[in-house]
Amino acid sequence: MGDSTARAPRAKKTAGGRVVSFPKPGPSAAPRSKIVVTGGAGFFGARLVRSLLLRGDHDVVVFDLVPPADMPGEVAHRFLDLNLPFADGTLYKLLLEEKPDVIVHLAQLRSPSHQATYAHELNAIGALHVFAAAGEAKIPRVILGSTSLVYGARGDNPNFLTEEHLLRPDPRDRFVQDFVEAEKHARDHVRRHPETAVQILRFVPLLSPEVRDYRTKLFASPVAWTLLGYDPLVQALHPDDAVGALLHALDRPEARGVFNVAPDGILPLSSVRLFFGSLGVPVPHPIAYALYEAAWVAGVGVMPGIHAHYLRYLCVVSNDKARHVLGFTPRRTTLDSVLETARARFGNGRLIDFDVLAEAARAADFAYERRVHPRRPSREKAAS
């Protein structure tokens, strides 16, 4: 029945003759969902928590060693160390108390670590704890943050890897293998609990002036070994776009499975080094592997030698599925993130005018996009 034919509110006459109306109760507000963010005090997790608080449509609880700093409002914090024995039991008790609708698991190390056992316990076994506790507590949704590096850098990789391609990282690369194992725990969870919605977001490595991971250090090194005869294409994802992809995933509970989260555009590794002002010293690739490994063992390198595969071979991914299913559109290209980071750190005091260099790079990128994607609308039109 429409509002025009609804009954008038009932009225009651009191002893003093005053009429008191009892208005018809309105519809009850939709309950707010609760989101648990593991690793919510870290660089990546804190940005997600801040975005969720600014939106104001979710209750957010951070599971981490410490509460996140500089939040725009109150955020609940529960202590959790996924490296402690019986962490799954502790997490299970916390989930029973908080009763979240979604877990976003971002408690991970995103750079290789000399403490390989600690990294494995956090990145791989930590994911096992999360999915085990979520299954016991019957949490309906879990979002796992992963990395696009799980595809592996191979000489026969296509120009853009999709979610259908096999995961083929080098078995000796323990840093990447931990993420592969974490994804295996996610797939096992889906088999055991088919009623649970699981989303795996494979993020391209992040890059911005605030990021301090191993790839940023590698790009920013004044002198670096390059593999003679190899210049692979690379991608760089801005953290704001990574958070945007997570928000899109949260808003689409019906979307399940794996999604590549990548920017538009690619750059040759040599161009990235040029923007950062890094001098590449080309050496034969067997020697480069040995040099990177020696620096790693000596404690002055940023990655083990086997990880130099990603400086030799192609490992770039397509974001088409995330666009079509999640509605995610990156706002910054690889070139945008590289230029922003390089300018913030090394744009002043160069012999080459950085503005001229950036303008030339954008013109070349525009010409390339017009040639490769002639029908794709420009980002300016898409934004309008």
Tell me the average pLDDT across 294-308. Answer: 96
Quick one: pLDDT at residue 30? Answer: 55
Across all residues in the chain, what is the average pLDDT?
A: 88
* Confidence label for 373 from pLDDT (cuts 50, 70 and 90): low
Q: Report which residue type is found at 53.
A: L
- Asked whether the CA dihedral 121, 123, 126, 132 is positive or negative, the reply is negative
Tell me the average pLDDT across 172-193. Answer: 98
Quick one: pLDDT at residue 53? Answer: 92
Quick one: pLDDT at residue 27? Answer: 44
Q: What is the pLDDT of residues 64-92, one digit of tens each?
A: 999 988 887 778 999 999 999 889 999 99
Tell me the average pLDDT across 297-306. Answer: 96
Answer whether residue 19 shows pLDDT above 60.
no
Strands 76-79 and 197-203: what pairing? unpaired
Q: What is the pLDDT of residues 208-245, one digit of tens each?
A: 999 999 999 999 888 999 999 999 999 999 999 999 99
Quick one: pLDDT at residue 6? Answer: 45
The proportion of the chain whose per-residue pLDDT surpasses 70, expressed as a percent, equals: 84
* CA distances from residue 178 to 123, 181, 309, 329 in whole angstroms, order as listed: 6, 5, 17, 28
Q: Where are the domains of the chain?
A: 12-372
* Confidence label for 360 from pLDDT (cuts 50, 70 and 90): confident
pLDDT winner (highest mean) among 16-25, 203-212, 348-357: 203-212
pTM of the model: 0.86
Are 249 and 198 a contacting pair, CB within 8 Å? no
What topology is assigned to 12-372 in CATH? Rossmann fold (3.40.50)
Answer whether residue 345 shows pLDDT above 80.
no
Q: What is the pLDDT of residues 192-216, one digit of tens each?
A: 999 999 999 999 999 999 999 999 9
Quick one: pLDDT at residue 369? Answer: 67
Answer whether residue 383 shows pLDDT above 60.
no
